[in-house]
A and B are shown apart, each in its own frame.
Chain A
Amino acid sequence: MYRYDEFDTQFVKSRTAQFREQVVRRLDGRLTEDQFRPLRLMNGLYLQLHAYMLRVAVPYGTLSSDQLRQLAHIGEKYDRGYGHVTTRQNIQFNWPELVDVPDILDDLAAVEMHAIQTSGNCIRNVTSDPWAGAAKDEVEDPRPTCELLRQWSSLHPEFTFLPRKFKIAVTASENDRAAIRAHDIGIKIVRNDSGEVGYHIYVGGGLGRTPIIAESLNEFVSRDELLPYLEAIMRVYNRYGRRDNKYKARIKILVQETGIKQFRQDVEAEYAAMTPADVAVGPEELERIATYFAAPDFEKLSDKHEGFDKAVILDPAFGRWVNNNLGQHRIAGYTIVNISLKPTDGAPGDMTSEQMRVIADLADKYSHSELRFTHEQNVVLPHVKRADCVAIFKALAEAGLADANIGKITDIICCPGMDYCALATARSIPISQAIAQRFADPERQNIIGEMKIKISGCINACGHHHVGHIGILGLEKAGVEFYQLTLGGDATETAVVGDRTGKGLSQTELIDGIERIVDFYIKTREESERFLDTYRRVGIAPFKEVLYADH
């Protein structure tokens, strides 16, 4: 994974010194809160419901075991001993104090981490496929491109005061595990007919109040055109994105209001007026970055391993974990281990400092010291020998990290909600728990199969509920929480926004209703249809009927 050179190190050092100075100026009043707010947001520091919240950047979700250990240390020293993995592959701490944040940033810098631009009206963390470098189905590892974009977007003098936040995601597979079409810019790395690698650019996706799936802007941008082309998009957005209404300020609104054809013309006109060679970065730079992502030395192994194969049969818990939590690795004898942060009685996506250390140790021992955070709020050990899985499972089980529910109904994406977030309208975590408890039986989960429930505690949709197979939006009226459902959403390459069922429900009605939906699906499905497939076949009407059956 990427290692800072002296320039990167100096850059982060300058940034932490700058923020330390800004905190001093805030505390002595030279900066008002209005002036300080955008500055602290651009260093990932929010003021939430109960306390400050610090969002640490985890570029494209990749981190080393040492970095995870440092996060564990930060959680203990400055916070309440845990962190929360977000839907953009970052990690958040809920209880830091402003006066400590400069020290926290120094501790992060010591392990080549930072909190730059994890909030604010600027370009945010560039996210990617959590299986990058390990998956069978990618054109190439998307992360060198992500790292290039990370550097390019860091403290961009022209694009730091955009109309609104700006999110970019990159995948290199036809199977989109990075939800690129829910992003302001989504990039798919592709090969053209001549075998040349380039970028398919999508623009104008986003969830929130107005969920929109990104449209195709340019099917093939070559390597050296990428940065100038993105600069052209950003300049058009910076100049013409709406600034009159916060809820209409994303690029998706500009694309909708302009129309994709005209928007494309505007971008190309801007590109034509630029001198791309003045913006582009030579291929040697991407090559230099790519050397850091060279695959580890894989051993020549077989997929058959006696210990592993025996344990699958003899230990049903291990067998379930193997069936649900392992992803197919491109190298024989290896596997991708997905660690669930969704225990039945936990807050989805949370890890204690102790758990972080367990995972860090496992990464060191079994995964070349590398791990990933996923946008589904779980953790990945990307390069694990099948032979080591029994030992890993045992260690995970002892740490409460062995839930065999990846992609299942209890693997819920859930925002922090009203329990933590100043923007929330309702709680989300108790809903997630209630669903997890209702469907706790692992056998039942396997029978249900792939089911992606996503919960947002407000209309800002940080839980990505619009693209959940079942999406839940928490609202409140007169002090009473109620929940609206969407069905049939999809965050993958077949991306679509879910359909609203209509009337909101109380928590009890919601859980019962979801159970009826699930049971109806099981009764109705044909062959190996997933929930999403059955929904697409039969439509919303019969599901609505069972959902509201007791009304």
Chain B
Amino acid sequence: MPIINSKAIASGQGETPPTMDDFLAGNEGDSVLLPPDADLEALAPRLSGLKSIDVAFPAFTDGRGFSIAKQLRRMGFEGTLTAAGPLIPDQYVYALQCGFDQVKIDAETFERFGEDDFTAALSAFSLTYQRGYVHAAGPSVNVFEARAARRNTK
């Protein structure tokens, strides 16, 4: 499936990592595919051994992965986080804002939109209201922090 990340657009076939059950059942490997209802506490002891985590988005209406990414980063995961599923271009930005590095789009969705639409989505907004969600490639300014900075320079 095509992979899109903000640093380098790559449309190669990504490999599918082992499922969470398989990963936890074994004791090796540095990548895993999490379902949207993944029990992150069960994953926690093995987190430090992971280099790459895919999070499944079964449908673009299913936004659970955004919270999973947020929680994984909070748990200290610093490896590659990939949102995998039929995300639409607008969600590419949300994914980056929530801590994903890239999205792995299914072929049909990718064909429908193409790389350009995904890249273009990054520049739709330069601002975000919610603290903790800025991203250099997309909404890079937090409104509340910008206002505070303005006050402090007065």
Give the Cβ gap from B45 to chain A, nearest Cβ, in Å: 16
User: Which residues of chain B are within 8 angstroms of A103 by Cβ–Cβ distance?
Assistant: none
Give the Cβ gap from A148 to chain B, nearest Cβ, in Å: 9
**Residue on B with the closest CB to A42?**
B90
Specify which of A35, A151, A158, A278 is in contact with B94 (CB 8 Å cutoff). Answer: A158
Q: Which of B116-144 contact A (CB under 8 A)?
A: 117, 124-133, 143-144
Give the Cβ gap from A344 to chain B, nearest Cβ, in Å: 43
Asked if B147 and A7 make an inter-chain contact with CB atoms under 8 angstroms apart, the answer reads yes
Give the Cβ gap from A18 to chain B, nearest Cβ, in Å: 5
Whether A11 is near chain B, meaning CB under 8 Å from some CB there, is: yes
Asked if B66 and A161 make an inter-chain contact with CB atoms under 8 angstroms apart, the answer reads yes
Asked if A278 and B125 make an inter-chain contact with CB atoms under 8 angstroms apart, the answer reads no
Asked if B112 and A18 make an inter-chain contact with CB atoms under 8 angstroms apart, the answer reads no
Complex Cα–Cα for A38 and B87 (A): 12
Known contacts A14-B124, A17-B124, A18-B124; A282/B90 CB under 8 A = no
Give the Cβ gap from A45 to chain B, nearest Cβ, in Å: 15
Whether B34 is near chain A, meaning CB under 8 Å from some CB there, is: no
**Residue on B with the closest CB to A14?**
B125
Whether B74 is near chain A, meaning CB under 8 Å from some CB there, is: yes
Question: Which size class do B's interface residues fall under?
Answer: 35 or more
**Residue on B with the closest CB to A238?**
B67
Known contacts A161-B63, A238-B64, A288-B147; A152/B124 CB under 8 A = no
Specify which of B68, B88, B130 is in contact with A35 (CB 8 Å cutoff). Answer: B88
Q: Mark A278-293, 1 if CB is under 8 A from B, else 0.
A: 1111101100100000
Asked if A156 and B130 make an inter-chain contact with CB atoms under 8 angstroms apart, the answer reads yes
User: Which residues of chain A are within 8 angstroms of B93 by Cβ–Cβ distance?
Assistant: 157
**Residue on B with the closest CB to A5?**
B147
Complex Cα–Cα for A155 and B62 (A): 16
Known contacts A35-B88, A155-B125; A161/B62 CB under 8 A = yes
Give the Cβ gap from B95 to chain A, nearest Cβ, in Å: 8
Whether A10 is near chain B, meaning CB under 8 Å from some CB there, is: yes
Whether B42 is near chain A, meaning CB under 8 Å from some CB there, is: no
A-B contact pairs, 15 of them (CB 8 A): A5-B147, A14-B127, A30-B112, A30-B113, A35-B88, A38-B60, A154-B129, A157-B94, A157-B128, A158-B97, A158-B130, A227-B131, A273-B71, A273-B74, A281-B131
Complex Cα–Cα for A288 and B147 (A): 10
Asked if A279 and B131 make an inter-chain contact with CB atoms under 8 angstroms apart, the answer reads yes
Give the Cβ gap from B153 to chain A, nearest Cβ, in Å: 13
Complex Cα–Cα for A32 and B74 (A): 36
**Residue on B with the closest CB to A278?**
B132
Whether A159 is near chain B, meaning CB under 8 Å from some CB there, is: yes
User: Which residues of chain A are within 8 angstroms of B143 by Cβ–Cβ distance?
Assistant: 7-8, 11, 151
Q: Mark A144-174, 1 if CB is under 8 A from B, else 0.
A: 0000000110111111111000000000000
**Residue on A with the closest CB to B87?**
A161
The prevalent SS among residues of A at the interface is: helix
- Of A11, A161, A278, A279, chain B has the most CB atoms within 10 Å of the CB of A161
Whether B9 is near chain A, meaning CB under 8 Å from some CB there, is: no
Known contacts A157-B98, A285-B147; A238/B130 CB under 8 A = no
Q: Which of B83-102 contact A (CB under 8 A)?
A: 88, 90-91, 93-94, 97-98
**Residue on A with the closest CB to B127?**
A11
Complex Cα–Cα for A239 and B65 (A): 8
Asked if B117 and A30 make an inter-chain contact with CB atoms under 8 angstroms apart, the answer reads yes
Q: Which of B9-42 contact A (CB under 8 A)?
A: 37
Give the Cβ gap from A313 to chain B, nearest Cβ, in Å: 53
**Residue on B with the closest CB to A243?**
B62
Asked if A10 and B127 make an inter-chain contact with CB atoms under 8 angstroms apart, the answer reads yes
Asked if A235 and B130 make an inter-chain contact with CB atoms under 8 angstroms apart, the answer reads no
Give the Cβ gap from B11 to chain A, nearest Cβ, in Å: 18
Whether A39 is near chain B, meaning CB under 8 Å from some CB there, is: yes
Whether B7 is near chain A, meaning CB under 8 Å from some CB there, is: no
User: Which residues of chain B are within 8 angstroms of A278 by Cβ–Cβ distance?
Assistant: 131-132
Asked if A155 and B128 make an inter-chain contact with CB atoms under 8 angstroms apart, the answer reads yes
Whether A274 is near chain B, meaning CB under 8 Å from some CB there, is: yes
User: Which residues of chain B are within 8 angstroms of A160 by Cβ–Cβ distance?
Assistant: 63, 94
Asked if B144 and A281 make an inter-chain contact with CB atoms under 8 angstroms apart, the answer reads yes
Give the Cβ gap from A315 to chain B, nearest Cβ, in Å: 50
**Residue on B with the closest CB to A241?**
B64
Specify which of B63, B94, B148, B151 is in contact with A238 (CB 8 Å cutoff). Answer: B63
User: Which residues of chain A are within 8 angstroms of B94 by Cβ–Cβ distance?
Assistant: 157-158, 160
User: Which residues of chain B are within 8 angstroms of A159 by Cβ–Cβ distance?
Assistant: 63, 66
Complex Cα–Cα for A5 and B64 (A): 33
